Homo-oligomer: A and B are copies of this chain.
Amino acid sequence: MSEWHEISGGVTAPRGYKAAGIAAGLKPSGAPDLALIVSDVEAIAAGVFTISQVTAACVDYCRQQLLSCHSARAILCNAGQANASTGNQGWLDALESAMILAQGLNISSESVLLASTGVIGQRIKMDAFKTGIPKLVEALSETGSDAAAKAIITTDLVTKSIALETTIHDRPVRIGGISKGSGMIHPNMATMLAFVTCDAAVSPALWQEMLSRAADKSFNAITVDGDTSTNDSLIALANGQSRTPAITEMGAEAKKLEAMLTAVCQHLAKAIARDGEGATCLIEVQVSGANNERAALQIAKTIAGSSLVKSAIFGRDPNWGRIAAAAGRAGVPFEQEELRIQLGDFLLMEKGQPLEFDRQAASIYLKENAAASSLPKDVVATDNSNDLNVDRNTVTQRIDDPVIIAVSVGNGKGEGKAWGCDLSYDYVKINAEYTT
B-binding residues in A (CB < 8 A) = 50-55, 85-87, 120-121, 184, 187-190, 225-230, 305-308, 311-312, 314-317, 319-322, 324-334, 336-337, 339, 349, 351-354, 359, 363, 423-425, 427-429, 431-436
**Which chain B residues border A319 with CB–CB below 8 Å?**
187-188, 435
User: Could you tell me if B431 and A328 are in contact, using CB atoms closer than 8 angstroms?
Assistant: no
Contacts of A427 in B (CB 8 A): 307, 311, 428
Please indicate the chain B residues that have their CB under 8 angstroms from the CB of A351 in the complex.
87
Closest to A299 in B: B53
A321 touches B187 (CB 8 A): yes
A330 to B226, CA, bound (A): 11
In the complex, which residue of chain B has the Cβ closest to the Cβ of A330? B53
In the assembly, what is the distance between CA of A128 and CA of B319, in Å?
27
A315 to B386, CA, bound (A): 13
For A332, list chain B residues within 8 Å (CB): 53
Cα(A331)–Cα(B315), bound, Å: 33
26 A-B pairs with C-beta separation under 8 A:
A50-B329, A52-B329, A53-B333, A53-B334, A53-B336, A54-B324, A85-B324, A85-B336, A120-B324, A120-B325, A121-B354, A187-B322, A188-B322, A226-B307, A227-B307, A227-B308, A227-B329, A228-B325, A307-B307, A307-B431, A311-B431, A314-B432, A315-B432, A423-B432, A424-B432, A428-B428
- Does the CB pair B336–A54 fall under 8 Å? yes
Which chain B residues border A329 with CB–CB below 8 Å? 50-53, 227-228
Q: How far is the CB of A427 from chain B (nearest CB, A)?
A: 7
Chain B nearest CB: distance from A422 CB in Å?
Answer: 8
Q: How far is the CB of A36 from chain B (nearest CB, A)?
A: 27
Contacts of A333 in B (CB 8 A): 53
What is the distance, in angstroms, from A225's C-beta to the closest C-beta of chain B? 4
Q: Roughly how many angstroms separate A317 CA and B436 CA in the complex, as a whole number?
A: 7
Q: CB-nearest residue of chain B relative to A435?
A: B317
- Complex A-B, nearest 10 residue pairs according to Cβ-Cβ distance, in ascending order: A315-B432, A54-B328, A188-B321, A52-B328, A311-B431, A228-B329, A225-B307, A121-B354, A120-B321, A317-B435
Complex: chain B residue closest to A351, CB-CB: B87
The minimal Cβ–Cβ distance linking A407 to chain B, given in whole angstroms, is 12
